[in-house]
Amino acid sequence: MKPIRKQHPGTADLQRLFDRLLAAYGPQHWWPAESDFEMIVGAILTQNTAWRNVETALDKMKLEQIWSWDAVLEVPVETLAEVIRPSGYFNQKARKIKLFAYFLDREFERSTDSLFQVPLPDLRDLLLAQWGIGPETADDIILYAAKKPVFVIDNYTRRLTTRLGWEVLPPDYEGHRAMFESLLRPNAEMYGEYHALIDHHCNGTCTKTPKCGDCPIADICEMGRAFKG
DNA sequence: TACCAGGTGACTG
DNA sequence: CAGTCACATGGT
């Protein structure tokens, strides 16, 4: 395999990638949740976990009627852990959900409505200060629940930029976020679609061992072009 | 059967 | 500050 040549992307590259992914896959309409509560709990449950396992856990929570911050505050953490078992890391995640409920209860009248009135970047710092909420989960919440324009980065995003041949400095989470947010107009709706499209693409085609032969954007990708020869 | 999935925090040198 | 590890289930 020949090495991938790297170049700094510009606004046109980011816009083209978005347009091509949208044309290939259509709108994804993320996040799949009917309330801020479901969205935030789902964001915690999906940490390093396949979404289908999260769905099983969410279904069980609903069935057990643990389906509000009030209900989370009521239930023992051991019980919650057992209910969300299918999502994996269930002891840690039960604690994370409980702690988030305590946080809302303590500082925001048990409501995400009042939390989301906090402007950026304070809102982001506040979320990151909570145990169990790292950069991706914080940005998921800000983008898909609070609907404010932060660009969510994940392992899929980093995998894709690497294969596209995009130089991103620094190559970590904040470097990627700064790159997307500095080159794109802040638009929560578009950011949400963009991240969802990247996820869908990396889930089905740009997988760990990529399927470049089936890739709809191989022509704009360093690895895709190398594959085609 | 080993590897992977929409990360995060603790610990180490 | 950068590496390494624990956390855990279900699908392929």
- Kindly tell me if the per-residue pLDDT of A212 is higher than 90: yes
pLDDT in tens, A20-42: 999 999 999 999 999 999 999 99
pLDDT in tens, A80-113: 999 999 999 999 999 999 999 999 999 999 999 9
The whole-number average pLDDT for the span A221-226 is 96
Integer Cα distance of A158 and A135 in angstroms:
14
**What's the burial of A63, exposed, middle or buried (CB within 10 Å: 0-12/13-18/19+)?**
exposed
- Kindly tell me if the per-residue pLDDT of A2 is higher than 60: no
Integer Cα distance of A32 and A106 in angstroms:
28
**The nucleotide closest to A49 (CA, C1' atoms):** B5
Question: What pLDDT does residue A3 have?
Answer: 54
Give the distance, in angstroms, between residue A133 CA and nucleotide B13 C1'.
27
**The nucleotide closest to A207 (CA, C1' atoms):** B4
The A 169-228 residues near strand B by Cβ under 7 Å are 199, 203, 207-208
**The nucleotide closest to A89 (CA, C1' atoms):** C8
b/e per residue, A86-117, with b = 16+ CB within 10 A?
Answer: bbbbbeebbbbbbbbbebbeeebebebeebbe
Integer Cα distance of A18 and A79 in angstroms:
42
Query: pLDDT band at residue A228, thresholds of 50, 70 and 90?
Result: confident
Give the distance, in angstroms, between residue A134 CA and nucleotide B11 C1'.
18
The A 52-81 residues near strand B by Cβ under 7 Å are 53
- Kindly tell me if the per-residue pLDDT of A6 is higher than 90: no
Q: Which residue is nearest to nucleotide C9 (CA to C1')?
A: A88
The contacts of residue A15 (CB under 8 Å, 6+ apart) are A184
**The nucleotide closest to A128 (CA, C1' atoms):** B8
pTM higher than 0.75 for the full model?
A: yes
Question: What pLDDT does residue A173 have?
Answer: 97
| pLDDT over 90 percentage in chain A | 97
Domains of chain A from N-terminus onward: 11-28+151-228 (1.10.1670.10), 36-145 (1.10.340.30)
Query: pLDDT band at residue A78, thresholds of 50, 70 and 90?
Result: very high
